[in-house]
Amino acid sequence: MLWYTGKRLLQIIPVLLGATFLIYFMVFSMPGDPIAALFGDRPPAPGVIEQLREQYHLNEPFIVQYFYYLAGIFQGDFGVTYSGQPVNEVLARTFPVTIRLALLAIFFEMIAGISVGLISGLRKGGIFDATGLGVSLVLISLPIFVLGFVAQYFMGIQWGWFSPTVGAGAPTQDLILPALVLATISFAQISRLTRSSVIETQGLDFVRTAYSKGLSGKRIVPVHILRNSLIPVVTYLGTDFGTLLVGATVTEGIFNVPGVGRTLYQAVIRGEGPTVVSFVTIMVLLYLIVNLLIDLLYAVLDPRIRYA
């Protein structure tokens, strides 16, 4: 197990290097001059431009810029944004917010998805199952920005259940509404996944054997059916957590969450190479670590899986 974990951690290094290189290259190839964009209509003094180019190594060839950047990372320095803030600071400010948002969303979708899926699976073909399917289909087909605005309008403004936008410092109670919106999409997936998994497990021989031992349904459902059904769900949750860290851009925009998605989007628009690459690097790192944790969790859920 230890050896396996070590091996997986070592594998992260080449993946990270490859990812940073690719992203850096793509940002570098984007058209337009980031310095010119900084100044808008009023042309700055030529000396200033030169100085900025010097400062950000913009007049060096691509590969040299990349190595400057890489050397910085290894010293814990992710560079400076074009507005002068250290990228480190931006990372430290935005990532905790997004991680909290993602965890909250995962929590909601897990509770709702697994319970709805379990009941639908146990009462396959019943009214609950049919309703669940209908609701899931509607939710899956709704684009997230529609869902976001509708939720914001009704729950935030009309009924006033939640704060419609996220305030300074992103307090957790403000994050509930965007987390619910994020959870809605995955809820549909998780409930369908749990349902089919429960149906499959229910028909397995050991469940019948459990009944033949004289156990009651109350014990068999959580102990023998649910636990065995959760393995595919855990896989999905793992990838979903990764997606939530990266892809909450739209939702963060709607609710004004000062998180990763919004900041990254702005950095991409402005062509800020170092900022974009730093964000993506941290995202890749988080994604890999989450997936490693999921793989290790497998071994806990299913004793047949042993890593050597």
Positions touching another protein (CB under 8 A) are 203-206, 208-217, 219, 223-224, 227-228, 301-304, 308
CB of 204 to another protein, least distance (A): 7
Nearer to another protein, 42 or 304 (CB): 304
CB of 190 to another protein, least distance (A): 20
Name the burial class of residue 72, with classes exposed (0-12), middle (13-18) and buried (19+) by CB atoms within 10 angstroms of its CB. middle
CB of 250 to another protein, least distance (A): 38
Nearer to another protein, 121 or 273 (CB): 121
DSSP 139-152: HHHS-HHHHHHHHI
Q: Could you say which DSSP state residue 86 is in? A: B
Nearer to another protein, 64 or 301 (CB): 301
Name the one residue in this structure whose structure tokens are 């050991």: 206
Distance between CA atoms of residues 119 and 141, nearest Å:
23
CB of 278 to another protein, least distance (A): 40
Nearer to another protein, 55 or 216 (CB): 216
| For the chain, counts of helices (H) and of strands (E) | 14, 0
Give the amino acid at 230.
L
Nearer to another protein, 228 or 278 (CB): 228
Name the one residue in this structure whose structure tokens are 């009023």: 42
CB of 207 to another protein, least distance (A): 8
State the Rg of the chain over Cα.
Answer: 24
